[in-house]
Structure 1
Amino acid sequence: MSAPKDTDDRFTLYDLRVEWVPGESCFCAAKPGDHFELHGEQLHFPPGQSWSIYTLAALLPLLPAKQRETHPNDWMSTDALVACPDPNCSAKFRIRRVAKREFRHSETTAVPLQRSESAGNDDSKA
């Protein structure tokens, strides 16, 4: 039996896999097959694999948006390759949606879920 609509705090995010796509030049020590996955807010790296902090810094702002459902015409739905932040590097990074995972608001934050039209718009608490 599902929870009543007003108490259902479930939401869905995509799990992501970010893969290194080699180019002609690379200075971050990436190797073919290097990747990581994002499940919810947790990054998962294969054992023994490292990742450049500069590349990670360039990718991080895109990941929360890529985790969410988007309109089919939105570029976030169609574009998957991100250029390396080093202008002298020709590598790219592919962000793929690999699975959906369900979460509960009550298990991801201490902030109570608001059910009014102004939910999330109260800047006085920031």
Structure 2
Amino acid sequence: MTTVNNEPGPASEPGTDMELYDLRIHVDRIEGRSVCGMMVDDYIDIVRSNEMRLPEGKHFCMYAFAAVLPMLSAKQRDLPADDWMNKDSLVACPDPEERLIMRIERTGKCQLRSEDLT
């Protein structure tokens, strides 16, 4: 199992039977007051289906992440071209004072074996 970021990978690697996108959720803009301490361009990466990675010494607000969570599974998969999930990548933090807007981006593809996942 390998992760290939920002490069087209093979259709499938030996022993793999599924392909998912790795994702980056980053703070696109803050239109209010950042109570949680996040700043524009802060991010968290989701790789290999379910691994969360943060830059050293950084944090990501769990409430902001909770707002993004329901969209991640769909964003990890290939979707029909006319599916709204292909066009909509912005998610708002639930704190109305912050007005923190996050963007979900695909950063690469990951080859996986479905039998290794639950």
Alignment partner of 1:73 is 2:82: yes
In the alignment, the residues of structure 2 paired with residue 31 and residue 103 of structure 1 have an alpha-carbon distance, to the nearest angstrom, of: 33
Deviation at 1:24, TM superposition (A): 2.5
Q: Say whether 1:19 aligns with 2:26.
A: yes
Q: How many residues align structurally?
A: 102
TM-score normalised by the chain length of structure 1: 0.75
CA RMSD of aligned residues (A): 1.5
Determine if contact 1:9/1:106 at 8 Å carries over to the other structure: no
1:82 counterpart SS class: strand
- How much does 1:9 deviate? 5.7
**Structure 2 gap ranges (5+):** 1-14
Aligned-partner Cα distance in 2 for 1:70–1:84: 25
**Structure 1 pair 33/9, CA: closer, same or farther in 2 (3 Å)?**
closer
Match of 1:47 among 52, 56, 63: 56
Higher strand share: 2
Query: 1:13-48: per-residue Cα shift (whole Å, max 9, x none)?
Result: 000011102223122211132101101110110011
For residue 39 of structure 2, what is the amino acid of its counterpart?
Answer: K
Which protein has the larger Cα radius of gyration, Structure 1 or Structure 2? Answer: 1
Instruction: Return the match for 2:46 from 26, 38, 47.
Output: 38
> In 2, distance between residues paired with 1:82 and 1:30?
15
